[in-house]
């Protein structure tokens, strides 16, 4: 498996090197190895992770929410799409409960 330096990874994903560093500090990415000269190396699969992070951010997810999704996926060992689908079901249930509560409160006015 090919490994990428931070700079190569950033270029491949269209982000800044500092963005990659920030994702590392947030616990969204992990260095898998170091080159003989000390450069951080990442597996190519991290490209998919960064692309997922950027897509999730573009639709309004915070980095903390994204981190939670990634952690859930790691714990359940399910594909991220399945993890997201289960989160959507939970959100839908909460929306229904809130709408019911809203309807009840409106009857009190």
What pLDDT digit, counting tens, does each position of 48-88 carry? Answer: 999 999 998 998 889 998 998 888 877 777 677 776 777 78
The pTM for the full model equals 0.69
Question: What pLDDT sits at residue 89?
Answer: 83
Distance CA 32, CA 49 (A): 14
pLDDT of residue 103: 93
Q: Which long-range contacts (CB under 8 A, 24 or more apart) does 46-53 make?
A: 46/4, 46/9, 47/4, 47/9, 47/12, 47/13, 50/9, 50/13, 50/15, 50/20, 50/23, 51/13, 52/80, 53/23, 53/28
3-state secondary structure of 95: helix
Domains of the chain, start order: 3-60 (1.10.1660.10)
């Amino acid at each position: 498996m090919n490994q990428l330096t931070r700079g190569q990874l950033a270029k491949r994903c269209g982000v800044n090197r500092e963005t990659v560093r920030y994702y590392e500090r947030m616990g969204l990415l992990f260095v898998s190895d170091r080159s003989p000269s000390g450069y951080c190396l990442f597996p190519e699969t991290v490209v998919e992770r960064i692309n997922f992070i950027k897509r999730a951010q573009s639709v309004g997810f915070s980095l903390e929410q994204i981190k939670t999704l990634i952690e859930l996926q790691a714990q359940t060992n399910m594909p991220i799409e399945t993890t997201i689908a289960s989160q959507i079901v939970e959100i839908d249930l909460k929306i229904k409960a809130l709408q019911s509560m809203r309807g009840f409160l409106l009857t009190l006015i």
